[in-house]
Amino acid sequence: MALFESLSSRLSRVADAMRGKSRVTEKDIKDMMREIRLALLEADVNYQVVKDLADEIGEKARGAEVMESLTPGQQVVKIVHEALVSILGTEEKLAVSPSGFTVIMLYGLQGTGKTTTAAKLALHLKDRGKKPILVSVDVHRPAAQEQLKILAGQVGVEYYIEPQEKNAARLALAGRERARYMMCDTMIVDTAGRMTVDQDLMDELRAINKAVLPDERLLIVDAMIGQEAVEIARSFDAEIGLDGFIMTKLDGDARGGAALSIRRMTGKPIKMIGTGEKVGDLEIFHPDRLASRILGMGDVLTLIEKASEALDEKQAQKTLERLKKNTFTMQDMLEQLEQIQGMGSMKEMLSMVPGLGSKLGNVDVDEKGLLKTRAIIQSMTVRERENPKLLNASRRRRIAAGSGAEVSDVNRVVRQYDDMVKMMKQFGMFGQGGKRRRPRMPFGNMGF
């Protein structure tokens, strides 16, 4: 059994076995439910949630649609995905106090990223016209307050620290005084993390909670957390009160199943997600994307975003122009290649394509193929690049020698170029209306 297979590839195996059968049996459904359970458990979704979900989905899957569908696997994936999206709920805004002074308290276990998230949150609010202040009441971790101070400087907001004070609640009160004095409208309280949910931690948090009466008490949850997530969230909710949570470290490859578990078992909403180490890396949460991620189904939307980040708008316009005029040259192909490489590793990108992610496990994407194509084009003269028709056998031999490739490789690149031109000619017709249109990247033809 392959580890960390996506739900769709798991289910397609079951579906393959079903193919040719005249009807779907109860056993087929059972097999499918097992695969769903395994996929969710591998994503660290809480066991109880997995069980409930599998039951619910099983009911739906027994419905006529799936049974009669030609692609029952895909139908079931769709049902599961929809179920996940509906559990994850919609994005919810951060609370704003009607009094004009909002207090946000962050808490959670050690090492989940509270301090970093506090700074990100401050920047997020500042960018939306608020005047936040960061207050560290972490009286335990060495240099924690120092870290908050540095981060406050980086995001350019007020801060309050008092490393000598050993009472967290008093610190929080003093922080509020400072916040009022500095005319801030939002106070973000960064509390100390503990290794475990223990009484000391809860007593301290309760005291802070009582002292500053936060409008928003947010649990910071690491995307990598295992089966324990629900119990942690529940105990914080029971002891202090919980208004929502922020999931951090989603820039890694953890599936983040805990988000689903906590949402389902506590009913508390996901407020934001942390997606990087930089202070700007705090994002609004999209239920459909997270659902795809939990199912290991890749993330097309992120791929598209990444692509548009890497693509140079001007370059794209230029390509479009050339394409319209039928003057797309080898040079343009080279530039496109370079842009594609600018988006990051091919394997990483392909892993975002649904259904491909798990299959890439053992496949090594031929990144060298791209490099080779590049080297071949770079070994051409400017005239050759502008007019590939010049490329006769002797020139091709020279180019092969110059780029350390075989003549057959050069032939391949020329063929790819021809294919692209042909494709783009058809494509060019669409652009004639004068509407701005981003030329698509022909990924499939780039030499891998």
Partner 1 sequence: MSLFDRFKNGLTKTRDFMTASFNRMAAGFGVFDDDMLDELEMTLIQADCGIAASTEAVEAIREHIRRTGDASREGVLRVLHESLASMLHEKKLEVEKDQLTIYLMVGVNGTGKTTTSAKLAQRAKKEGRRVMMAAADTFRAAAVEQLKVWGERTQTAVIAHETGSDPAAVVFDAIGAAKARHTELLLVDTAGRLHTKKNLMEELAKIRRVIDREAPDAHVETLLVIDATTGQNAIIQARAFHEATRVTGIALTKLDGSAKGGVAVAMARETGLPLCLAGLGEGADDLSDFDRDLFLQALLPEA
CB atoms within 10 A of CB 169: 18
Q: Residue 101 belongs to what H/E stretch? A: none
Nearer to partner 1, 94 or 192 (CB): 192
H or E stretch covering 26: helix 26-42
Q: How far is the CB of 47 from partner 1 (least distance, A)?
A: 4
| Contacts with partner 1, 72-101, as mask; x by CB under 8 A | ------------------------------
From the list 274, 263, 287, the residue with the least C-alpha distance to 118 is 274
Burial (CB count <10 Å: 0-12, 13-18, 19+), residue 253: middle
| Residue 253 C-beta: closest distance to partner 1, Å | 5
Nearer to partner 1, 249 or 372 (CB): 249
Q: At which residue do the structure tokens 């089966």 appear?
A: 227
Q: At what angle do helices 330-342 and 367-378 cross, to 10 degrees?
A: 150
Helix axes 72-88, 26-42, angle to 10 degrees: 50
Instruction: Name the E strands within 145-215.
Output: 158-160, 186-190
Task: Go through the chain and tell me how many residues it has.
Answer: 448
Using rule CB under 8 A, residue 122 touches partner 1: no
Q: How far is CA 276 from the centre of its chain?
A: 10
Which residues in 253-272 contact partner 1 (CB under 8 A)? Answer: 253-255, 257-258
Nearer to partner 1 by C-beta: 91 or 251?
A: 251
Q: Does 1 bind partner 1 (CB under 8 A)?
A: yes
Among 31, 35, 42, 243, binds partner 1 (CB under 8 A): 42
CB of 67 to partner 1, least distance (A): 26
124 binds partner 1 (CB under 8 A): no
Q: Name which of 45 and 169 has its Cβ closer to partner 1.
A: 45
Alpha helices in 227-352 (DSSP H): 229-239, 257-266, 287-294, 300-310, 313-324, 330-342, 346-350
150 or 300: whose CB is closer to partner 1?
150
The upper half-sphere exposure of residue 116, i.e. CA atoms within 13 Å in the direction of its Cβ, equals 21
**Contact indicator for 193, 141 with CB cutoff of 8 Å:** yes
Number of residues binding to partner 1, judged by CB under 8 A: 49
Provide, rounded to whole angstroms, the least separation between the CB of residue 193 and partner 1.
Answer: 9
The reply on whether position 70 binds partner 1 by CB under 8 A is no
Q: Please report whether residue 252 would count as binding partner 1 according to CB under 8 A.
A: yes
User: Among 55-63, 228-236, 305-313, 388-396, which window interacts with partner 1 (CB under 8 A)?
Assistant: 228-236
Beta bridge partners of 130: none
Q: Is 145 in contact with 165 (CB distance < 8 Å)?
A: no
Among 28, 31, 35, 44, binds partner 1 (CB under 8 A): 44
One symbol per residue from 304 to 343: x for binding partner 1 (CB under 8 A), - otherwise; what is it?
----------------------------------------
Mapping DSSP to helix (H, G, I), strand (E, B) and coil, where does residue 298 land?
coil
Selected binder of partner 1 within 127, 198, 203, 305 (CB under 8 A): 198
Cα–Cα distances in Å, from 24 out to 11, 53, 78, 319?
14, 21, 18, 50
Site for partner 1 in 347-376 (CB under 8 A): 348
**Distance of closest approach, residue 130 Cβ to partner 1, in angstroms:** 22
Give yes or no for residue 10 binding partner 1 (CB under 8 A): no
Give start and end residues of each alpha helix (H) in 62-96.
64-68, 72-88
Shortest distance, CB of residue 246 to partner 1, whole angstroms? Answer: 14
Is 109 a binder of partner 1 (CB under 8 A)? Answer: yes
d(CA 111, CA 21): 52
Binding pattern for the stretch 273-302 against partner 1, x by CB under 8 A and - elsewhere: ----x-------------------------
What is the SS3 assignment for 15?
Answer: helix
> Taking CB under 8 A as the rule, does residue 345 contact partner 1?
yes
- What sections of 95-142 are H helices per DSSP? 114-127
Half-sphere exposure in the Cβ direction for 374 (13 Å, CA): 12
Question: Minimum Å distance from CB 196 to partner 1?
Answer: 4
Which of 113, 214 has the CB closer to partner 1?
Answer: 113
Contact letters for partner 1, residues 152-181 (x by CB under 8 A): --x---------------------------
| Cα gap 335→339, rounded to integer Å | 6
In the list 69, 74, 97, 110, the residue contacting partner 1 (rule: CB under 8 A) is 110
Is residue 194 part of the contact set for partner 1 (CB under 8 A)? yes
Q: Which amino acid is at 288?
A: D
Question: Residues interacting with partner 1, by CB under 8 A?
Answer: 1, 3-4, 38, 41-44, 47, 109-113, 141-144, 146-147, 149-151, 154, 194-198, 222-228, 231-232, 249, 251-255, 257-258, 277, 345, 348
